[in-house]
Amino acid sequence: MVNISMAQDPKPEPGKQVPQKMTVPKSTSIWIWGQDGDISKLLATPKPLDESDTEDMQYLLFLPKGYDADAAKEWPLLLFLHGAGERGDDINLVTVHGPPKRIAKELEFAEKCPFIVVSPQCLKDHYWSPAQLQLLLDKIEADYRIDRKRVYVTGISMGGFGTWMLTADRPKRFAAVAPICGGSDTTLAEKFVNTPLWVFHGDADLLVNVKLSQDMVQAIEEAGGKKAKLTTYPGVNHDSWTQTYENQELYDWFLSHSLDE
C-alpha cells in the first residue's frame, strides 16, 4: 500500500477560497460514457483505487468568515462535486458552477456563507472515485473544526452521479444530500432510505434524462424511505443547477439536518 500524503498546505484566510491538494492512491474510475446502455449502473459502481501508485487531488477550500482554528466552534461542511466539463488540472474550472462560483463572484454570498466548502477536481477522462473523496473528507475533518454531524454533499451532472455514488458508499456519513441532474442504480435504493435527499432535475434534460432522478426517488419511497423529495423544473434542459444553487432554501434545508435527528 502506498503512503498517503497528509501534509497541510498553507491554511486559507477565513472568507477566502484557495487551491489545496493532497496525494492519494490513483483512481481507476475511467470515464466510459456510452459503453454501457444504462449509465446509471455504470456510474453507480465504485471502482477500486490503485494502491501501487499515487496522484495529486486538487481542491478548493473555503473557510467561512468567523472561522477560528483556536476556538471551540465547529462548522458544517459542504462538499461540491462538479460536472464532466470541469475535469482536468486547471483548478479554476471548478469555479464555473455551483457554490465555488458564488463564493468567487458574489461578495455577499462569500461573507455570509456558513459552510466550510470543499470543491475537489476530477482528473480528465475520469469520473468521481468515492474512495478518494472519503480520504479527502477524512483529511478535512482532521485538519479543521468540522461538525461531523453536519456534513453535506451536492453535485451536478457527473457530480450528481458522484453524489449518489458517494452517499451509497457511506450513507451514515452525510446529514443531507442534494444530487442535481444525476442518477444512480435503483437496486441501491435501500442505501438511501434514512438519508434526507433533495433531488433536482430539468424535465427537458437532453443529456441526462429526468427519469433517472424520478426512478431513484420512487425506488427509495418503495423501499420505505420518507426523506427523499424531487424538484423538477418545467422546460429546463441540462442546466438545472444555476437556479438550484441560487435558491437560499437549499442552504437552509442543508442546515436543518443533522445526524443526531
- Please give the average per-residue pLDDT across 59-88, as a whole number: 96
In which band, very low, low, confident or very high, does the pLDDT at 33 lie, cut at 50, 70 and 90? low
pTM of the model: 0.94
Domain locations in the chain as residue ranges = 20-255
Q: What is the pLDDT of residue 12?
A: 80
CATH number of 20-255: 3.40.50.1820
- Please give the average per-residue pLDDT across 203-212, as a whole number: 95
228 pairs with which residues across the strands? 197
For residues 166 and 93, the answer to whether their CB atoms sit within 8 Å is: no
Q: Report the C-alpha gap between 197 and 229 in whole angstroms.
A: 6
Segment among 24-33, 111-120, 213-222 with least mean pLDDT:
24-33
Q: Considering the chain, what is the average pLDDT of its residues? A: 93
